[in-house]
């Protein structure tokens, strides 16, 4: 595991975007696993700049996002589908037909989860997965549990996750209680993992995940078993 601490959010975003851009340059048909949240925003902004300058080409890239709220419409400004389009896909030369976010409004969510895993498998797995970490140690929306769940599945969000994500909604009550998340298998089978983390408040859980016992109570701790993980942390807030 490569654990890099940098002194600014700007530097974190620069390093992370450079890593993603290099991956795409080395393999133009990359299957890129993406995350939402505040931390990757600077990375996405910089990827858009790199693309505008001709320094990265998204035309052959396919993306799969980690998660989506259940029951939320894709046109809803709080959907992760909307987030990805407005923060990245609208600003790079990607074919939007090749961007996948779980459909949290699918009539049959179980079938949606199965199809999501099949799609990733048929692509031959994720080449590079971008991750953040939740205050409770979640990756994607894999919340602390008594076991690691392998496949894409529906989860009930933890109180702490609902509280943390309330900043995007009018009130805490508006935060969906359930979500669809990629499970641990697709994440752990990604060839490379890049985790970005910012803020003093995340340091304790990050170090627990990286250096503490491997346990489903701290979902991100499973990354200790992955052969190619890069973590970039800055104490600076976004
Ligand atoms: C979002 C996701 C979450 C976030 C995590 C950190 O797609 O998968 O696991 O990465 O909650 O979020 P931020 O970056 O807002 O601290």
Q: Judge whether 143 counts as a catalytic residue.
A: yes
Q: Which of 34, 80, 82, 133 for mutating ligand 1's site (highest number of atoms within 8 Å of CB)?
A: 133
pLDDT for res 238: 84
pLDDT for res 84: 98
Q: What confidence tens digit (pLDDT) does each residue in 45-64 have?
A: 999 999 999 999 999 999 99
Token pair in block for residue 19: 């890593």
**What's the mean per-residue pLDDT of the chain?**
97
Q: Is the dihedral of CA 230, 199, 162, 87 positive or negative?
A: negative
Mean pLDDT, residues 221-231 taken together: 98
pLDDT for res 48: 98
Pairing type for strands 178-181 and 153-156 reads antiparallel
Token pair in block for residue 145: 């549990």
pLDDT for res 171: 93
Q: What confidence tens digit (pLDDT) does each residue in 142-152 have?
A: 999 999 999 99
Mean pLDDT, residues 146-175 taken together: 95
Q: Judge whether 136 counts as a catalytic residue.
A: yes
Instruction: Please give the domain boundaries of the chain with CATH numbers for all domains.
Output: 2-190+198-234 (3.40.50.1360)
Q: Which of 12, 16, 36, 235 for mutating ligand 1's site (highest number of atoms within 8 Å of CB)?
A: 36
Q: Where are the beta strands (DSSP E) in 72-212?
A: 99-100, 128-131, 153-156, 178-181, 192-198
pLDDT for res 88: 98
Mean pLDDT, residues 109-126 taken together: 98
Give the Cα separation of 230 and 236 in Å (integer): 18
């Amino acid at each position: 595991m490569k654990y890099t601490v940098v002194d600014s959010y700007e530097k974190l975003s620069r390093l992370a975007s450079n890593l993603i851009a290099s991956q795409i340059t080395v393999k133009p048909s990359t299957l890129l696993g993406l995350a939402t949240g505040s931390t990757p925003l600077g990375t996405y902004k910089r990827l858009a700049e790199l693309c505008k300058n001709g320094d990265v080409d998204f035309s052959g890239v396919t993306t799969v996002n980690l998660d989506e709220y259940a029951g939320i419409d894709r046109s809803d400004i709080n959907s992760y589908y909307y987030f990805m389009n407005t923060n990245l896909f609208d600003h790079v030369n990607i074919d939007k037909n090749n961007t996948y976010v779980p459909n949290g409004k699918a009539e049959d969510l179980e079938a949606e989860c199965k199809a999501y895993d099949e799609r990733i498998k048929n692509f031959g797995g994720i080449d590079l997965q971008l991750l953040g970490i939740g205050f409770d140690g979640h990756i994607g929306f894999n919340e602390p549990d008594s076991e690691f769940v392998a496949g894409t599945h529906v989860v009930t969000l933890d109180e702490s996750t609902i509280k943390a994500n309330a900043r995007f909604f009018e009130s805490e009550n508006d935060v969906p209680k359930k979500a669809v998340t990629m499970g641990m298998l697709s994440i752990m089978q990604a060839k490379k993992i890049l985790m970005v983390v910012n803020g003093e408040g995340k340091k304790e859980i990050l170090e627990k995940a990286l250096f503490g016992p491997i346990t489903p109570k701290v979902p991100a701790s499973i990354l200790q078993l992955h052969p190619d993980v890069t973590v970039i942390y800055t104490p600076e807030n976004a």
